[in-house]
Chains A and B, each alone.
Chain A
Amino acid sequence: MNIAIASGKGGTGKTTVSTNLAMLLGEMGEAVRYLDCDVEEPNGHLFLNPYIREKHAAVIPVPLIDESKCTACGECVRFCQYKALIRLSKLVMVFPELCHGCGGCTLVCPQQAIAEQAKEIGFVETGTSGMIGFVHGRLNIGEAMSPPLIRKVLELTMPDTINIIDAPPGTSCPVIASIRKADYVVLVTEPTPFGLNDLGLALDMIQELGVPHGIVINRDEEGNTDAQKFCEKRQVQILAQIPDDRRIAESYSRGEMIISAVPGIRERFTELWRSIRKQVQA
């Protein structure tokens, strides 16, 4: 089962929810694997402190032009939708950072002057943290496109395992790539105007994709029911609420797991898991 944790707005607590949920499930004896798909800024390892066993480069195919065969006819340049190829007077230049790796230029070149070569965009590391399986992707600095790396991370979900997928913030391509294979999405929000506005955008996206989902309200304040009202209006299930507590912020700042460090929080995560299970079975 694949459970993705997403949010719309950044910094609402995706990594806190994902890592603590994974740890709780591990302690309960469930087979669990944590996969960090926030490959631009992966943070899960700072909390789970995994022992890394393997590291693999993630590559995408980009064009390699054989200048002895290229007549600079411009067919590939006209074909490329991403402007990754540019024709100068007598040669064609490749901008690999714009290439999506579709392979189109290789197919349309009348001279068969284009081959493909691998270009590294980042790497995938796998290991363990206690009983939890650990996978994360790290995008190389300066690389623009994260979805191909996210797809590599997601190739490592395990069957008969609870795969916890920590998604990046936002609502565009990287998030969609991260939740594509999810059976269930947990959206983490906070009861602020920014938090709820972005939750609305994330809900629009998830409903478009048609994946079952529920909400965790983080930094829940007594006397503030904005998030609860919002969820009622949008008719989405609240799975759990995590209180606004300076002790949580401080223990997070040091890289601690809040289910162990802050009293009363473990119960909130137990409740979260119970709610998710009920929703998935329904």
Chain B
Amino acid sequence: MKEIVIISGKGGTGKTSIAASFAALAKGKAVMADCDVDAADLHLILKPQIGLRSEFRSGHKALIRAQDCTGCGTCADVCRFGAVRDGTTWDTYPRVTYFIDPISCEGCGVCVRLCPAKAIDFAEEVCGEWFVSTTRFGSMVHAKLGIAAENSGKLVTLVRNEAKRLAQEQEAKYVLIDGSPGIGCPVIASLTSASLALIVTEPTVSGDHDLRRIAGLTKQLRVPAMVCVNKWDINVSATEKIKEFAQSQDIGFAGLVRYDKAVTQAQRKQETVTEFCSEGVAIDIQNIWDAVTKALAEYLIKTQNS
């Protein structure tokens, strides 16, 4: 079983459109995972039927019980995240008490431990929901992070592990992971243990810049990477530059995807590009899928021999 993670560095380069097409091209041999948990879109195309729905509990939040707060201010002194505010409580007479801004609170527990009046509760947080679903292409694991919630990296790990477990159970050949933009915590969480990262970039100054950073991350994490250029014909010379960069970094080149309105049209019809049409851009994506699966097969041989 191979884990393919689709990432990009820069947002909006076409990760989800390519991941959805891959789901169709894998022909029932893959389990899908949407690891872009704070702006998930894969479900808009794959239209999952939710089978199992679970709460995602992670971390804690401090909460001061105003009636027990003596107003000493220790919590405000020790909090490093600026989450403690002062206010007024009107019981018999107005007095200063403190309260915690839940959005700034990082759940470290320092105030809870040091409060002399033991007036701070520390309840576990529900940070979102995650789902195991079925789609027309096979099983899918996805999630919804709670509004303004934290711990997206942990939710990514949960979704990824669950998809992996399912794939093993079903003896699926691939786990297809739709990643999030950036190079931070959710991206690192989706890349850990991947067999291959497909970096989707675009021939723009930003696409090029961000590719260099995400390629640096895959290298650091020792995840083999390939790159493909979406909308390559927007800027031919920038595309060439990306190809040269890939070659210099020992990153496999997976192919080019042309700029085509069919990609958005397919999205509007809630279809994958390869379902929506069979020519042009659909062939481009098919070629990338072939390049990725071929590279994985060769990589497998290489690691078996070594």
Residue of A nearest to B114 (CB): A107
Q: Is B2 an interface residue (CB 8 A)?
A: no
Name the B residues within 8 Å of A63 (CB-CB): none
Q: Is A104 an interface residue (CB 8 A)?
A: yes
Known: A40-B184, A101-B80, A173-B150. A9 touches B11 (CB 8 A): yes
18 CB < 8 A contacts A-B: A9-B41, A10-B181, A11-B10, A11-B12, A40-B182, A41-B209, A81-B109, A100-B108, A107-B78, A141-B183, A141-B217, A143-B184, A170-B181, A172-B148, A172-B150, A193-B268, A209-B148, A249-B231
Could you list which residues of chain B lie within 8 angstroms of chain A, going by C-beta atoms?
8-13, 16, 37-39, 41, 44, 59-60, 78, 80-81, 103-104, 106-110, 113-114, 145, 147-150, 152-153, 180-188, 202-207, 209-210, 213, 216-217, 220-221, 231, 234-235, 238, 259, 264, 267-268, 270
Taking A102-B80, A250-B235 as given, write out 14 further A-B residue pairs in contact, using a Cβ cutoff of 8 Å, ordered by the A residue number: A10-B13, A10-B39, A40-B183, A79-B113, A81-B107, A104-B110, A170-B182, A176-B148, A194-B41, A197-B44, A204-B147, A209-B148, A253-B207, A255-B204
Interface residues of A in 1-57 (CB under 8 A from B): 8-12, 15, 38, 40-41, 43, 46-47
Name the A residues within 8 Å of B182 (CB-CB): 38, 40-41, 146, 168-170, 174
Contact B9 A41 (CB under 8 A): yes
CA distance A32 to B28 in the complex (A): 54
Q: Mark A91-118, 1 if CB is under 8 A from B, else 0.
A: 0000000001111100110000000000
Contact B39 A43 (CB under 8 A): no
Known: A81-B108, A104-B109. A208 touches B184 (CB 8 A): no
Name the B residues within 8 Å of A176 (CB-CB): 103, 148
Residue of B nearest to A175 (CB): B38
Contact among A100, A146, A169, A253 with B205 in the assembled complex (CB-CB below 8 Å): A253
Tally A residues with Cβ within 8 Å of B.
55
Contact A46 B209 (CB under 8 A): yes
Name the A residues within 8 Å of B203 (CB-CB): 253
CA distance A144 to B185 in the complex (A): 4
Name the A residues within 8 Å of B188 (CB-CB): 142, 144
Name the A residues within 8 Å of B37 (CB-CB): 172
CA distance A208 to B103 in the complex (A): 10
CA distance A249 to B104 in the complex (A): 37
Residue of B nearest to A38 (CB): B182
Contact B12 A10 (CB under 8 A): yes
Q: Is A139 an interface residue (CB 8 A)?
A: yes
Contact B183 A41 (CB under 8 A): yes
CA distance A176 to B213 in the complex (A): 23
Contact A141 B80 (CB under 8 A): no
Least distance between A90 CB and chain B CB atoms (Å): 25
CA distance A208 to B146 in the complex (A): 11
CA distance A41 to B13 in the complex (A): 13
Contact B206 A174 (CB under 8 A): no
Name the A residues within 8 Å of B259 (CB-CB): 249
CA distance A142 to B222 in the complex (A): 12
Residue of B nearest to A15 (CB): B206
Least distance between B221 CB and chain A CB atoms (Å): 8
Contact B60 A81 (CB under 8 A): yes
Interface residues of A in 104-160 (CB under 8 A from B): 104, 107-108, 139, 141-146
Q: Is A171 an interface residue (CB 8 A)?
A: yes
- Complex A-B, nearest 7 residue pairs according to Cβ-Cβ distance, in ascending order: A10-B11, A11-B12, A102-B108, A40-B182, A255-B205, A253-B235, A144-B185
Which of B41, B235, B238 is the most central at the interface, judged by chain A CB atoms within 10 Å of its CB? B41
Name the A residues within 8 Å of B81 (CB-CB): 102
Least distance between B286 CB and chain A CB atoms (Å): 22
Least distance between B131 CB and chain A CB atoms (Å): 16
Q: Is A236 an interface residue (CB 8 A)?
A: no
Q: Is A86 an interface residue (CB 8 A)?
A: no
Contact B267 A192 (CB under 8 A): yes
Q: Is A229 an interface residue (CB 8 A)?
A: no
Contact A170 B38 (CB under 8 A): yes
Which of B9, B184, B221 is the most central at the interface, judged by chain A CB atoms within 10 Å of its CB? B184
Name the A residues within 8 Å of B209 (CB-CB): 41, 43, 46
Known: A102-B80, A141-B217, A194-B16. A9 touches B110 (CB 8 A): no
Contact A100 B106 (CB under 8 A): yes
Contact B184 A141 (CB under 8 A): no
Contact B108 A169 (CB under 8 A): no
Name the A residues within 8 Å of B268 (CB-CB): 192-193
Least distance between B64 CB and chain A CB atoms (Å): 17
CA distance A9 to B36 in the complex (A): 10
Known: A40-B184, A146-B184. A252 touches B9 (CB 8 A): no
Contact B149 A172 (CB under 8 A): yes
Known: A139-B183, A194-B267. A41 touches B10 (CB 8 A): yes
Name the B residues within 8 Å of A103 (CB-CB): 78, 80, 110
Name the A residues within 8 Å of B103 (CB-CB): 176, 180, 208-209
Contact A171 B38 (CB under 8 A): yes
Name the A residues within 8 Å of B148 (CB-CB): 171-172, 176, 205, 208-209
Least distance between B3 CB and chain A CB atoms (Å): 19
Least distance between B194 CB and chain A CB atoms (Å): 15
Contact B110 A171 (CB under 8 A): no
Q: Is A261 an interface residue (CB 8 A)?
A: no
